[in-house]
Structure 1
Amino acid sequence: MTSLRTIADINHKIRQGSVNVLTVEALKARVAEVGVPQTAQEVDVVTTGTFEPMESSGAILNLGHTDPPIKIRQCWIDGVLAYSGFGAVDLYLGASQPAETGISDNDGEDARERGGGHVIEDLIAGKALPLRALGQSTDCYPRSAMNTLITRESINQFYLFNPRNLYQNFLVGVNGGDRLLNTYLGPLQPQLGNAVYSNPGALSPLLNDPKLRLVGVGTKIFLGGGIGYVTWEGTQHFPLQKRLANNTPIGPAATLALIGDAKQMNSEWVRGCHFKNYGPSLMLGVGVPLPVLDESVIQACAVSDQELVAPVIDFSIPRRVRPTFGLVSYAQLKSGSLTIERKRVRTAPLASLHLSRQVAIELKQWIESGEFTLTEPVAEIPCDRTFLPQDSRGSQMNLT
C-alpha cells in the first residue's frame, strides 16, 4: 500500500507542534464518520492503552557497594525475597513474589496480601523501605550481612524489566464446578456465577496492530507513567494463534517484553495488587503509539469490539487444556452479561477500561506537547513462534 508518511515525517511534525494525534477510540469514531481514506490523510498517530494486571513483571535494582563490600546471596526488601544470583549488589524483584512473615516490618494481616508489586509501587512512590541481606564472605566481599533502608534515590539503577506484558488477546474465565475458585482472574463463582475477561478489547494496543507491523524491538512506549521500550518478544509469545478474517487472534497470542526507568515512573500507573488465595501481582499502565504510515494502519485500528472475540474457558477442570464454551465478542462482554447454556452470566473486566482510556489520552498529550517522539524499530517481533507445553518426562528418562 502507498506510504502516506514516515516516522521521520511524524517526528518532524511533533517538533513543529503540528502533529495530529487521536486516541484509538476517537479514531474509530472518526472512521465511522468519514471513512478510512480521509482519516488516514488526517491522522498522524493513534494512541492505545491498557491498565491491567501483568504478573510477569519485575524490577532490576543495583544497590551500590557497601564498605566493607558484600556479595549478596539472600535479600529481602520489606519482607519480599529478591533474586540475588548474579552481580554482588544486583537484584531482581518479581512482581508476584509474596512477602514472607517474620521478615517484613509490616508483618500482620496486610503482609499476607503484600508482594513484589507492592514493593515496586512503594519505591516508585518515593517511600523508604527496609532491606535485609545475607552475604557470601569472600576475600573480595568480606561482609556477611546488611540491614538498611533504601529509596529509589539511594540506589543506582531501578528499572522495570518485564518478561511478559501486553497480551494481544486473552481468555474469559468461568467456573462450571460446585465450589468457588480463586484464580489469576480473581474469584470465579460456582455454577457459572460470573465471567471475567482481562483484555480491554478494542482499546488494546496489540489488537489494533494485529500483525505487529508497527511494533518491534526498540519501539518507544508509555510504561508506568514514564518512557519505556520494547526489548524482545514476551514469554509465551504465540503469534500463530488462530485468527479471524480481520487478522485478530481468537485467544492468547503475541506478547512483548518491556523495559523502562522506574525512577521516572508514577505510582498512579504502577500499583501492587493481590488476588485472594492466588497471590500478588502488578497493575500496570502501558500505552503504545501507532504511526499512521498508510491506510492499512487505519483499517486495522478501526476494528470494533463486535469484531473481536475471546474464548470462554471453564476453570473448574484442572488441566492445561480446559473445555471451552466457545467464542464471545468483546461487545457482548462489555454489555455486562453473556449467555452460556441458556443461562445469563454476569461479566466483569479485570482491566480498568477507564484507566486504559486515560493511558491513551496521556500518551496523546505527551506527543502533542513534543515530550514524546516515535522510534523506528531496530528488529521485528518474530511472528512464527510455536507454543510448547512442558510435560513430565521422568518415566521416559533414566534417573539413576
Structure 2
Amino acid sequence: MRTIAEINEKITSQRAVVLTVEELKARVAEIGVAKAAKEVDVVTTGTFEPMESSGAIINLGHTDPPIKIRRCWLDGVPAYSGFGAVDLYIGASCPADAIDGEEIKERGGGHVIEDLIAGKAVQLRAQGQVTDCYPRATFETTIMRETINQFYLFNPRNLYQNFIVGVNGGDRPLFTYLGPLQPRLGNAVYSNPGAISPLLNDPNLEVVGIGTRIFLGGGIGYVAWEGTQHFPLQKRLANDTPIGPSATLALIGDAKHMDARWVRGCYFKSYGPSLMLGVGVPIPVLSEKVVEHCAVLDKDLVAPIVDFSIPRRVRPTFGLVSYAQLKSGRVTIEGKTVRVAPLASLYLSRQVALELKNWIEAGTFTLTEPVSPVPMERSFIPQDRWTEF
C-alpha cells in the first residue's frame, strides 16, 4: 500500500495520519482493518517498565597528566573501565558500594544515569594503571552531562516481547525482579503492558528491524541489534503472538538529549536497583497485515503464571492468563482469587505512545528503513550445569 519514503514525505509536510495503538484498535472496531489501513499512515506504541539490562557509555575526556582508569565509581556505583583509558560503562542494575564502611542503600546505576540525564552533578572517583603514557594514579572530580563527551544509553536487552506473571506458592515472602511476591498466592505481578506493548503489535518483527528509529527515554534512539536472551521461537498463538518471553531488542540513543521523566532509577526491595525506561516504537502502515496485527486486543494475548517459590531455572506454571484478565485486577489460580498489579506503568506507557505521535504529527520525527531484519530463528541456550547450593 505504501512505502516508508511515501510516509516520510507526508510526515515532513505534516499530512500524515498518526494514531496511537489504542486509537488504532478502536478505529478498527469501528470501520474494519481494510478501511483503517487506507486511512492511517503510522501507529505509535509505547511502554514504561523496568529494563534492568540497560546502561550508559560515558567518555570523560583526558586528564592532565593522563590517567588510564582501571577502577571507577560514580556516586559510589562501580563503573566498568576495562577498555579505553577514560571510557566507562555503568550498568543500570549495578548496586552502589559502601563508602568508608557506610552502606549506600537503595541506589544503583539507574539512579546515576537518571541524575546525569537530569543535569545533576555526580561524584567520580577513579584509580589508574600507571604507565609511561598514563602516569596518573588517582583522580577525583564531579561530572555533569555538560562536562563529559559521549553519554549514550546502550542497552543489551529491552522491549521483551511478552513476559511472565509472577506468583509465590511457598510459605514465605519472596523479593524478586517483579517486586515482592506474597506467600500462598497472596498476589500476582505482571510487567508487560499487553496490547499497547511495542513488539506484541509487530509479532513477527516484519516492520521493526535493526536501524529502526524509536523514542528512547524522551530522546531519539535506534534498534542496534537483537537483544540478549532473544528467543523468537517461543510457542505462539494463532495470531502469531508468543505465549511467554520471546523476542528482545538491543537499543542505543544519545542520553544528552533524553528527559529524566522517561528514565528513572528504581530499587526493588531485597533484590536491587534497576531502571524504569520509556520506549516508543512507530509502526508504519505498509499493508493491511500491519493493521491486522496492531488490532490485537488484551483478551487475545496471554502470559504464563510462574511460581517463584521453586528455585530452579524452569519453574512450574499455573497455566496461561489473558492480559484482559490481568488488567481486571483479579485472576483465579487453582480456585483462589488472587489480586494482580502491573509493574509497568500503563498510564506512562500510553503517554509514551502519545508523545511519539505528537513528534510525528509535528514533522520532527521521521521513520527509518531497517538496514537488516532482526533474526527470527534464534534458539535459547541455557547453562544446565549442576552446581552446589
Global fold match (TM > 0.5): yes
Residues 1:19 and 2:16 aligned together? yes
Instruction: Give the counterpart of 1:39 among 33, 36, 39.
Output: 36
DSSP-derived class of the 2:146 partner: coil
Report the alpha carbon displacement of residue 326 of structure 1 after superposing the two structures with TM: 0.2
1:201 paired residue number = 194
- 8 Å contact 1:75–1:82 — kept in the other structure? yes
Aligned partners of 2:356 and 2:92: how far apart in 1? Answer: 24
- State whether structure 2 residue 228 is matched by structure 1 residue 235: yes
- Give yes or no for contact 1:196–1:349 (8 Å, CA) kept in 2: yes
Aligned partner of residue 298 in structure 1, secondary structure: helix
Cα distance between partner residues in 2 of 1:357 and 1:85: 39
Q: Contact between 1:76 and 1:103, CA under 8 Å: does it hold in 2?
A: no
Within 5 Å, which residues of 2 pair with 1:99-138? 99-102=96-99, 111-138=104-131
In 1, Cα distance between the equivalents of 2:107 and 2:238?
43
Q: Where does residue 250 of structure 1 map in the other structure?
A: 243
| 8 Å Cα contact 1:78-1:103 kept in structure 2 | no
CA contact (8 A) 1:47 1:288 kept: yes
Match for 1:89: what amino acid?
V
Change in CA separation of 1:178 and 1:15 when aligned onto 2, cut-off 3 Å: same
**Aligned counterparts of 1:34 and 1:49: Cα–Cα separation in 2:** 24
CA separation in 2, counterparts of 1:125 and 1:189?
35
The answer on 1:51 being equivalent to 2:48 is yes
- Quote the sequence identity (%): 76
CA displacement at 1:142 relative to structure 2? 0.1
Equivalent of 1:186 in 171, 179, 183: 179
Letter in structure 1 aligned against 2:276: M
Give the match for residue 370 of structure 1: 363
| Equivalent runs, 1:88-167 vs 2, <5 Å | 88-102=85-99, 111-167=104-160
Equivalent of 2:211 in 198, 218, 223: 218
Say how many residue pairs are matched.
388
Once the two structures are superposed, what CA deviation does each residue of 1:131-173 show, in whole Å capped at 9, x if it has no partner?
A: 0000000001000000000001100000000000000000000
Q: Where do 4+ consecutive residues of structure 1 move more than 4 Å?
A: none
Task: Give the corresponding residue for 1:379.
Answer: 372
Could you tell me how far apart the structure 2 residues matched to 1:393 and 1:299 are? 45
Q: Is the aligned partner of 1:298 residue 2:291?
A: yes
Q: Which amino acid aligns with 2:315?
A: R
Residue 387 of structure 2 corresponds to residue 389 of structure 1: no
Asked if 1:289 corresponds to 2:286, the answer is: no
Match of 1:398 in 2: none
In the superposition, relative to structure 1, how do residues 393 and 348 fare at CA in structure 2: closer, same or farther (>3 Å)?
closer
Distance in 2, matches of 1:121 and 1:230, equals 21
CA distance, structure 2, for counterparts of residue 229 and residue 220 of structure 1: 5
Residue among 78, 81, 100 paired with 2:78: 81
Please, what TM-score do these two structures have when normalized by structure 2?
0.99
1:55–1:281 contact (8 Å) kept in structure 2: yes
Deviation at 1:392, TM superposition (A): 2.4
Structure 1's unaligned 5+ residue stretches are 396-400
Deviation (angstroms), 1:391 = 2.3
Shift of 1:291: 0.1
Partners of 2:138 and 2:386 lie apart in 1 by: 41
The residue type paired with residue 78 of structure 1 is: D
Residue ranges of structure 2 left out of the alignment (5+ in a row): none
Query: What is aligned with 1:63?
Result: 60
How far apart are the structure 1 equivalents of 2:74 and 2:379? 37
- Structure 2 CA distance for aligned equivalents of residues 169 and 129 of structure 1: 35
Alpha-carbon RMSD: 1.1
